[in-house]
């Protein structure tokens, strides 16, 4: 993936794919090379070269605009055709939006399935249908901010690949909005979420579905899926580079321990940082080969202690505001030794949501449900709980809290 920068922005570790101006005017007749020392940069600049094209798949990227001297422009950058903004949507009840979201997930399954099938057969990726799906998800989130996110978390193993793509799509749209990104950018984030793992289609199922630790050879092949996905997307007609950026960088981490390039936080775009958090959260809260799903609260706790090492602080704060400290459907144990399910957020006090108590641990039996606003109650949260260990499915819990809307 090439990006055009000014020569004064060149850094050691970048891979130069092309220099501006005729080759005869500068000493670097070799058009492609890795910048290994500062003397090369000084020679390029003293030769009067004003623009440099770098390949971010082979070397370091320029820091994103907020940390750099100037924004980075993609090669051949043109102004895309304006994308339609999501029109305002009337607010909907949680119960009503859950119904719509179920229909959306079902219809979207065939769209994404067809898109993935075409890629497996070697055909170029077509994203028109995917963009319509992104727009539908965006409208759902506008009507109710939590319904689609809660439903997309409930995955059957057979549907994991599709629903993971859709869940990351919805999460990225929601986080992009929380960060105040422009509508067109948020739309591209949604598309990026749908296709962020498309490189996995090039891997054998034996590697993808393996429940035990991968061999070193299998792990090496697995870690190539972001680059494989980039190649697939590079052949598609995309409105922007955001899906490409997200696809190739969503496994990078801010401390440089990610892959495929080991980039650090200042080298990663905000889009890649959003994707890293949304992808990790949905993976942790999903049942998949070799991993039992975690509760949303446990995943949030796990990720929170890895802020500034694995995850970007500013983006994680926005993510926390988006899904809530205790996301919808989280099961908590209260001081009264009752289990309660989170049924609504309190934006002004995220540590004290509205919950519905439904089970007595001390009596080992269900109790009459009671709606409790923890802001105005002596009850406090003691611990997170796994509903399945108490004989409740996520669907049963959803039936409880959707009746309150």
Q: Report pLDDT digits (tens) over 293-333.
A: 888 888 988 999 999 999 999 999 999 989 888 888 889 99
Question: According to the model, what pLDDT value does residue 181 have?
Answer: 95
Average pLDDT, the chain: 84
In DSSP notation, 86-107 reads PPP-----HHHHHHHHHHHHHH
Looking at residue 362, its pLDDT comes to: 94
Rounded CA separation 368/357 (Å) = 8
Question: What does the pLDDT look like over 109-162, one tens digit per residue?
Answer: 888 888 888 888 888 888 888 888 999 999 999 998 888 888 887 766 557 778
Q: Nearest to residue 116, comparing CAs of 196, 15, 44?
A: 196
pLDDT, one tens digit per residue, over 199-210 is 999 999 888 888
**What pLDDT is attached to residue 134?**
93
| Contact predicate 250/279, CB 8 Å | yes
CATH superfamily, region 94-323: Hypothetical protein af1432 (1.10.3210.10)
Going by C-alpha positions, the residue among 53, 28, 54 that lies closest to residue 43 is 28
Give the per-residue pLDDT at 82.
41
**pLDDT attached to residue 1:** 61
Band of pLDDT at residue 179, cut at 50, 70 and 90: very high
Residue 75 reports pLDDT greater than 60 = no
Give the domain ranges of the chain: 2-74, 94-323, 331-402
The alpha carbon dihedral of 108, 111, 117, 119 has a sign of negative
Q: Which residues contact residue 185 at a Cβ distance below 8 angstroms, ignoring those fewer than 6 apart?
A: 176, 240, 242
Query: Is pLDDT of 74 > 60?
Result: no
Confidence of residue 59 (pLDDT cuts 50, 70, 90): confident
Per-residue buried b or exposed e for 293-307, using 16+ beta carbons within 10 Å of the residue's own CB = bbbbbbbbeebeeeb
Task: Give the pLDDT confidence score for residue 70 in this predicted structure.
Answer: 35
If you average pLDDT over residues 22-50, what whole number do you get? 67
Task: Lowest mean pLDDT of 107-116, 180-189, 341-350, 395-404, name the range.
Answer: 395-404
Q: With pLDDT > 90 as the criterion, what percentage of the chain qualifies?
A: 42
Which of 47-56, 278-287, 300-309 shows the lowest per-residue confidence on average (mean pLDDT)?
Answer: 47-56
pLDDT band at 85 (very low <50, low <70, confident <90, very high): very low
pLDDT at 81: 41
């Amino acid at each position: 993936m090439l990006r055009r920068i000014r020569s004064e922005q060149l850094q050691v570790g970048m891979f130069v794919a092309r220099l501006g101006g005729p080759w005869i005017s500068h000493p670097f007749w070799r058009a492609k090379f890795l910048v290994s020392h500062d003397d090369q940069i000084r020679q390029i600049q003293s030769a009067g070269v004003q623009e440099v094209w770098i390949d971010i798949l082979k070397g370091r990227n320029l820091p994103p605009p907020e940390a750099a001297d100037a924004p980075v422009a993609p090669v051949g950058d043109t102004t895309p055709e304006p994308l339609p903004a999501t029109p305002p949507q009337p607010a909907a009840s949680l119960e009503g939006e859950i119904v719509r979201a179920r229909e959306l997930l079902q219809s979207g399954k065939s769209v994404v399935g067809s898109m993935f099938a075409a890629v497996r057969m070697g055909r170029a990726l077509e994203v028109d249908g995917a963009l319509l799906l992104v727009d539908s998800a965006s409208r759902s989130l506008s009507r109710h901010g939590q319904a689609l996110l809660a439903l997309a978390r409930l995955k059957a193993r057979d549907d994991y690949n599709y629903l993971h793509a859709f869940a990351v799509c919805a999460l990225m749209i929601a986080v992009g909005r929380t960060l105040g990104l422009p509508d067109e950018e948020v739309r591209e984030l949604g598309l990026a979420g749908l296709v962020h793992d498309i490189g996995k289609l090039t891997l054998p199922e034996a590697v993808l579905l393996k429940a035990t630790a991968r061999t070193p050879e299998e792990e090496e092949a697995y870690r190539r899926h972001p680059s494989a996905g980039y190649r697939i997307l590079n052949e598609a007609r995309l409105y922007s580079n955001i899906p490409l950026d997200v696809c190739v960088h969503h496994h990078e981490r801010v401390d440089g321990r990610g892959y495929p390039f080991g980039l650090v936080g200042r080298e990663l775009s905000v889009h890649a940082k959003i994707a890293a958090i949304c992808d990790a959260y949905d993976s942790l809260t999903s049942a998949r080969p070799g991993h039992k799903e975690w509760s949303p609260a446990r995943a949030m706790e796990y990720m929170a202690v890895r802020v500034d090492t694995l995850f970007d602080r500013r983006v994680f704060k926005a993510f926390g505001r988006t899904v809530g400290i205790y996301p919808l459907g989280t099961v908590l144990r209260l001081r009264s030794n009752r289990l309660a399910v989170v049924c609504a957020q309190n934006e002004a006090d995220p540590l004290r949501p509205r919950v519905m108590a439904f089970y007595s641990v001390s009596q080992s039996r269900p109790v009459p449900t009671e709606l409790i606003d923890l802001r105005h109650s002596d009850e406090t949260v003691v611990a997170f709980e796994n509903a399945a260990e108490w004989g409740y499915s996520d669907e049963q819990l959803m039936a409880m809290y959707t009746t309150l809307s």
